């Protein structure tokens, strides 16, 4: 094939080139035809047209090379690539890999943790706006008597939420339900408690009473075994038919689909280290702190739970320094701990917890009690460090009291509670 035929063939293949490539090919073709049309005249030297032709052919070659790279890269980007690493997939597959596939329902939150019995977890599914947790506040009444105030959500809100939990162990049916209803779920049968929880309501006089629910407002729970897990689905529903519908929405999925369904606030196992670094920003750290102190059980967990472990770990280390300094008479180290913890209200991670509906009241009360060393609740007074242990310091491997330090040196960090 001569040069004119080659260029003509390339320029006519519209599917293989973009506009710039076709324009370059057309210019090269026109120039070559112009040169060919003068072939009958005596041969003369035309250095400029020849150089112009070679330049145009070079431009065409560059355009072709660019197209080859474009299509090679484009084809490569369309090749299937795993969305998640093998480690993360392995962690996901340690769960039952179930989703609630009802219309408009989504995962709101997820918590996984390890106990003496093994891995346990809880997923929350909601539809519509996020559904906050119900809160139960404890206040001090007359004569220092503790009173519990309920924060039960309206039925219409509670019925937009479904909880799915799992654990290893033996299936136990509550003794209060001698004849549970049986409903199908995932190819097996679940036992359903149609009065799973008593509902706290408020009368017109403002008095809070406990009742077993009423028509249109029931709390139900189903329990069954699946793949080595004991599973429980709990939901507030208007009736049994609505609860059966929610059970029917449960579906087994693959690990990638399950991970894709996790909301942004859920920290996947592979993101643990990076998320911890982010949460530590703006927090004064004691010299005894190391990132490895933040528990990493290799589980997918809620961002709020990880944030709690970050703040508890840092706080426990400061409280331990404070306690050791007071016992040793080291006033400088004691004041350093008090000054660091006085900034807790401004820690970015604490502010984030508050925006998400969490409560930091306990930690802030502990901080305010540091200068005196006394925790006061109503007329009652306690030493501060035993109350600070309530942050979970011993479980984190940071006991505050000398007797607990000794016990941990001898027996190691205690196992998580059941």
CA distance 169 to 164: 16
- The least confident of 51-65, 102-116, 323-337 is 51-65
Of the ranges 25-29, 69-73, 288-292, 329-333, the best mean pLDDT one: 329-333
Of the ranges 198-202, 224-228, 318-322, 406-410, the best mean pLDDT one: 318-322
Tokens of 82: 């795993």
- The least confident of 84-98, 149-163, 185-199 is 84-98
Determine how β-strand 135-140 pairs with β-strand 98-100: unpaired
Give the single-character DSSP code of 49: H
* pLDDT tens string 33-65: 343 334 333 344 444 444 444 444 444 444 434
* C-alpha closest to that of 98 among 80, 76, 78, 124: 124
Residue 263 near residue 111, CB atoms below 8 Å: no
Tokens of 222: 């189903």
Tokens of 18: 């973009």
Backbone angles phi, psi at 347, to 5 degrees: -65, 130
Q: List the Cα angle 209/223/213 in 5-degree steps.
A: 20
Residue 140 near residue 124, CB atoms below 8 Å: no
CA distance 149 to 133: 15
Burial bucket for residue 340 (CB in 10 Å: 0-12, 13-18, 19+): buried
pTM for the predicted model, two decimal places:
0.53
* pLDDT tens string 350-405: 888 777 666 678 888 899 999 999 988 778 889 999 999 989 898 888 999 999 88
Backbone angles phi, psi at 105, to 5 degrees: -90, 150
* pLDDT tens string 234-268: 999 999 999 999 999 999 999 889 988 988 767 66
Residue 164 near residue 232, CB atoms below 8 Å: yes
Tell me the residue ranges of DSSP E strands in 95-213.
98-100, 105-115, 118-127, 135-140, 146-151, 161-167, 181-185, 188-193, 199-202, 208-211
CA distance 244 to 183: 7
CA distance 276 to 225: 35
């Amino acid at each position: 094939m001569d040069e004119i035929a080659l260029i003509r063939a390339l320029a006519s293949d519209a599917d293989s080139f973009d506009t710039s490539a076709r324009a370059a090919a057309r210019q090269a073709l026109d120039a070559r035809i112009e040169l060919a049309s003068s072939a009958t005249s005596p041969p003369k030297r035309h250095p400029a047209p020849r150089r112009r032709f070679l330049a145009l052919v070079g431009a065409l070659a560059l355009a072709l090379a660019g197209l080859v790279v474009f299509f090679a890269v484009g084809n490569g980007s369309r090749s299937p690539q795993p969305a998640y690493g093998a480690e993360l997939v392995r962690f996901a597959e340690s769960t039952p890999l179930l989703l609630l596939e009802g219309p408009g329902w989504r995962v709101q939150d997820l918590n996984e943790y390890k106990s003496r019995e093994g891995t346990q977890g809880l997923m929350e599914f909601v539809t519509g706006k996020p559904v906050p947790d119900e809160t139960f506040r404890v206040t001090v009444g007359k004569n220092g008597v503790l009173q519990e105030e309920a924060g039960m959500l309206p039925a219409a809100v509670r019925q937009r939420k479904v909880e799915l939990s799992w654990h290893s162990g033996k299936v136990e049916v509550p003794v209060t339900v001698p004849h549970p209803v049986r409903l199908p779920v995932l190819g097996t049968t679940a036992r359903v408690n149609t009065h799973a929880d008593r509902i706290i309501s408020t009368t017109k006089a403002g008095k809070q009473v406990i009742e077993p629910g009423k028509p249109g407002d029931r709390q139900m729970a189903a329990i069954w075994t699946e793949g080595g897990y004991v599973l429980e689905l709990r939901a507030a529903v208007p009736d049994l038919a609505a609860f059966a519908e929610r059970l029917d929405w449960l579906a087994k999925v693959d690990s990638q689909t399950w991970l894709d369904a996790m909301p942004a606030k859920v920290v996947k196992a592979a993101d643990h280290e990076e998320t911890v670094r982010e949460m530590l920003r703006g927090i004064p750290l004691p010299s005894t702190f190391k990132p490895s102190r933040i528990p990493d059980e290799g589980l997918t967990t809620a961002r709020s739970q990880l944030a709690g472990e970050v703040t508890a770990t840092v706080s426990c280390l400061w409280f331990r320094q404070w306690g050791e300094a007071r016992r040793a008479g080291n006033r400088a180290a004691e004041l350093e701990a008090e000054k660091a913890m006085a900034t807790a209200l401004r820690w970015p991670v604490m502010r984030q917890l508050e925006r998400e509906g969490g409560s930091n009241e306990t930690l802030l009360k502990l901080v305010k009690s540091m200068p005196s060393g006394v925790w006061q609740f109503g007329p009652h007074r306690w030493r501060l460090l035993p109350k600070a242990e309530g942050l979970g310091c011993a479980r984190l491997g940071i006991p505050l009291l000398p007797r607990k330090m000794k016990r941990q040196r001898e027996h190691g960090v205690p196992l998580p509670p059941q």
